[in-house]
Amino acid sequence: MSKLKTLTNGFIKENPTLVLLLGTCPTLAVTTSVQNAVGMGAAATFVLVGSNILISMLKKVIPDKVRIPSYVVIIAGLVTIVQLFLQAFFPPIYKALGIFLPLIVVNCIILGRAEMFANKNSVVDSALDGVGMGIGFTLALLIMSTIREILGQGTWYGIGIVPGAIESMAIFKLAPGGFFTYGVVVAAVAALSKGRATKAKAAHCGACPSAGLCGGAEKGEC
Amino acid sequence: MKTLKELAMPTLVLTVICVVVTAALALTYQFTAPYIAAAAASAADSARIELLPEADSFTQITDENVTGIEGLVEAYQANNGAGYVFTSKAKGYGGDLFVMTGINSEGQVTKVKLMENAETPGLGSRVGEDEYTSQYVEKDSKLEGVEAVSGATISSVAFKDAVSIAFQAYGAAAGVEVEVPAEPEVDPRTEIFPGEELTSIEIEGADEAYQAGSSGIIIVVQVEGYHPGMQVITGIGADGKIAGVGMGENEETKGLGTKVGEPEFTDKFKGLGADEVNGVSAVTNATTSNDGFKRGVKKALELVTQEMLDALATAKYTQVQPGAATFEPFEAENALEAVRTDLGIVVLTQAEGYGGQITAVVGIGNDGAITGVRFLSDHSETKGIGTKALDPEYLAKYVGKNSADGVDTVSGATVTTDAVKRAITKALAIYEATKGA
């Protein structure tokens, strides 16, 4: 796999949110505004790159038996560092992300990439994968939040772009609006890639983050 | 050895990872802790900087001379000497109302802001709007020229009180004398018969005399208390009993003789006749003022003749039917009182308003047209809102009409207006009935 392909894989083809359907909970929760989405995307990307690099570096040291706890400790440490930095230098984003910031620890994308990619590939490839997946996640959040903020509030990144042009629909800022938007965006991505992306990657057991732990994965019976 | 490696290694590696991660966290925490504290402090300060834009950061004032002021919640001093920000509270319409006030070093308001409150949304809560709060900007402690939000007098008064408390705190904190806003003088003359218009009349022996609509007569006499020149104000109802008393201008000893004018004492006179006045227990240590006051009340009662009281009864009718001379009561359904006059009829009808029953006095001429409408003052409509529909100026619109329809509803007082119209319609129905009889 070429380095470029490793990087761009996460943008569309293996987009963690829209194709692999990972990290749905924070996606729905923080995409009420573009500002939050950017903050969440950046924080998750940082953690993703950091954890991918560290785990790739330690892949020979960490015994298989304590693989998952080790990953979780590393990821939790990184998340806490991000949390402290945000709290110190970007208090508004820290406040807006709220509980979803510490919950990055259990974001499936991060653990998923550690399990699926970082513990099998070189440090450089893992870093690139982390960047690519992070960008893919951020991109997905941006698309979602753009739709939700414009329709729900008539603004983009807090700037009133269509003030008064459309009646803002508060439902788009609420959970149901999040589900509507998510469904439509996922469907759009599937349609644009003619269903290949989804079928190829997400729909078989090998794509599951826990595939390694599950004996039936290779036989397709998880 | 193999077992040892299999068992020990995972534990060891995991322990090492945990230790390293913990160390990294400890370092990060040490590095970020001061920034986090500063960010938290500036977040709290930013609310105060909004009220005092020239300030940079704040220190809480803990001096008991300041914090002990009743109604003061929090006091902060700007570190650069720009001024102070106080949070104070006062009792509003719906409970405590919290106000934040920024006061600069010259003792002027920089900004006020309504905080937590339980005022009626859209009514009392309007004291939080810019239109009202901007009046305070650049005002000194006297708060002159701050006008209440119409229809939200209680909330406005509470808001002003809270700002006044902030100024008291400012005085204590800055060590300067603070002038308090002038209390509006309450005139007992207008308190005895609330809502009634006073017309000056001549009564021999009285310094001043007023007829309070049809409710009663107010007589002001001067007597000698402990010092000469004590004005005694006596309100006498249509039944000849005392409706209320008060003390006007006087030279009595402050806090002693003046106690005679306080409600605690004056309320005891309500409902008494001339022979019962002596029985009112005196104010301790103010016997002379007390005796003088009672002499004044008795004198007032003597001055009022039965003729005047009779005139009051007819005044109720002539107010809505000027010029009527003969009054002959008749029985009418739905009416509290009904009289036939030489010019038509006058009836008292009731309708359910916003705050209970309201009583209308409606005069109807022989031609069936309304000659006048007024409402008795014993209603509970919302001051400044519902009462707009009971205002003589509004009621004048009904004069000359044959029906209550066609007169505009007072905006914001739909319920009261409807009650007004129902009461008038009832009166017109009575007129129709008398015509048929």
pLDDT of residue B183: 56
Cα–Cα distance measured from residue A137 to residue A44, given in angstroms and rounded to the nearest whole number = 8
Tokens of B241: 């009993």
Q: In the predicted model, what is the mean pLDDT of residues B364-382?
A: 83
pLDDT of residue B154: 84
Q: For residue A62, is it within any domain? A: yes
Cα–Cα distance measured from residue B314 to residue B326, given in angstroms and rounded to the nearest whole number = 9
pLDDT of residue B430: 87
| Cβ–Cβ < 8 Å for B242, B301 | yes
pLDDT of residue A208: 58
pLDDT of residue A1: 56
pLDDT of residue A214: 57
* Residue with token string 């938290």: B40
Domain encompassing residue A129: 3-191
pLDDT, chain B, mean: 83
Q: For residue A196, is it within any domain? A: no
Contacts of B8 in chain A (CB under 8 A): none
pLDDT score of B417 more than 60: yes
pLDDT of residue B207: 82
Q: For residue A182, is it within any domain? A: yes
Q: Where are the domains of chain B?
A: 1-44, 58-174, 188-309, 319-436
| Cβ–Cβ < 8 Å for B264, B290 | no
Cβ–Cβ below 8 Å for A88 and B25: no
Task: Name the more confident of B44 and A207.
Answer: B44
Coil vs helix vs strand at B225: coil
User: How distant is the Cα of A104 from the closest Cα of chain B, in angstroms?
Assistant: 16
Count of domains forming chain A? 1
Task: Name the more confident of B283 and A209.
Answer: B283
Which residue in the set B14, B24, B40 is minimally distant from A69, CB to CB?
B14
Beta-carbon count within 10 A of B302 CB: 12
For the CA atoms of A8, A9, A10, A13, what is the dihedral angle to 10 degrees?
120
pLDDT of residue A202: 46
User: How distant is the Cα of B45 from the closest Cα of chain A, in angstroms?
Assistant: 14
* Residue with token string 């794509």: A207
ipTM value greater than 0.85: no
Which residue in the set B32, B40, B43 is minimally distant from A85, CB to CB?
B32
Question: Nearest CA to B245 among B255, B260, B258, B256?
Answer: B260
pLDDT score of A164 more than 90: no
* DSSP secondary structure letter of residue B326: -
* Residue with token string 């310094």: B207
Cβ–Cβ below 8 Å for B13 and A61: yes
Mutate to test the interface with A, among B3, B32, B45 (most CBs of A within 10 A): B32
Q: Please provide residue B213's backbone torsions phi and psi, each rounded to the nearest 5 degrees.
A: 55, -125
Residue type, B272: L
Mutate to test the interface with B, among A66, A78, A90 (most CBs of B within 10 A): A66
pLDDT of residue B271: 82
CA nearest to B40 within chain A: A91
| Cβ–Cβ < 8 Å for A65, B10 | yes
DSSP notation for chain A: --HHHHHHTTTTTT-TTTTS--SHHHHHHHTTSHHHHHHHHHHHHHHHHHHHHHHHHTTTTS-GGGHHHHHHHHHHHHHHHHHHHHHHH-HHHHHHHGGGTGGGGG-HHHHHHIIIIITTS-HHHHHHHHHHHHHHHHHHHHHHHHHHHHHHHSEETTEESSTTTS---GGGGSHHHHHHHHHHHHHHHHHHTTTHHIIIIISSGGGSTTTTT-TTTTTT--
**Chain B from 40 to 69: CB within 8 A of any A CB:** 40, 43
Tokens of A16: 């963690």
Taking the Cβ of residue B433 and every Cβ of chain A, the question of whether any pair is shorter than 8 Å is answered with no
Cα–Cα distance measured from residue B10 to residue A213, given in angstroms and rounded to the nearest whole number = 17
| Cβ–Cβ < 8 Å for B156, B149 | yes
pLDDT of residue A184: 93
Rounded to the nearest 10 degrees, the angle between the axes of helix A123-153 and helix A34-57 is 170
User: How distant is the Cα of A105 from the closest Cα of chain B, in angstroms?
Assistant: 14
Rounded to the nearest 10 degrees, the angle between the axes of helix A123-153 and helix A175-192 is 120
pLDDT of residue B182: 58
Taking the Cβ of residue B35 and every Cβ of chain A, the question of whether any pair is shorter than 8 Å is answered with yes
Percent with pLDDT over 70 in chain B: 96
Tokens of B382: 């919302």
Q: For residue A213, is it within any domain? A: no
Cβ–Cβ below 8 Å for A87 and B36: yes
pLDDT score of A166 more than 80: no
pLDDT score of B119 more than 70: yes
User: How distant is the Cα of B49 from the closest Cα of chain A, in angstroms?
Assistant: 17
Residue B17 neighbours by CB under 8 Å, 6+ apart? A58, A62, A70, A73, A74
pLDDT digits (tens, 9 = 90+) for A42-88: 889 999 999 999 999 988 888 888 888 899 899 999 999 989 998 88
Residue B175 neighbours by CB under 8 Å, 6+ apart? none
pLDDT score of B330 more than 50: yes
pLDDT score of A203 more than 50: no
pLDDT of residue B88: 92
Cβ–Cβ below 8 Å for A88 and B32: yes
Cβ–Cβ below 8 Å for B24 and A77: yes
| Cβ–Cβ < 8 Å for A149, A142 | no
pLDDT score of A199 more than 60: no
Mutate to test the interface with B, among A65, A68, A90, A93 (most CBs of B within 10 A): A65
* Residue with token string 């009527």: B324
Tokens of A103: 């919950």
Cα–Cα distance measured from residue B259 to residue B251, given in angstroms and rounded to the nearest whole number = 12
pLDDT digits (tens, 9 = 90+) for B63-90: 888 888 888 888 898 888 888 999 999 9
Q: Per the confidence metrics, is the pTM higher than 0.95?
A: no
* DSSP secondary structure letter of residue B127: G
Cα–Cα distance measured from residue B71 to residue B60, given in angstroms and rounded to the nearest whole number = 17
pLDDT of residue A22: 82
Cα–Cα distance measured from residue B259 to residue B221, given in angstroms and rounded to the nearest whole number = 18
Cα–Cα distance measured from residue A176 to residue A159, given in angstroms and rounded to the nearest whole number = 24
Please give the helix or strand (H or E) that residue B281 lies within, else none: none
Taking the Cβ of residue B29 and every Cβ of chain A, the question of whether any pair is shorter than 8 Å is answered with yes
Percent with pLDDT over 90 in chain B: 9
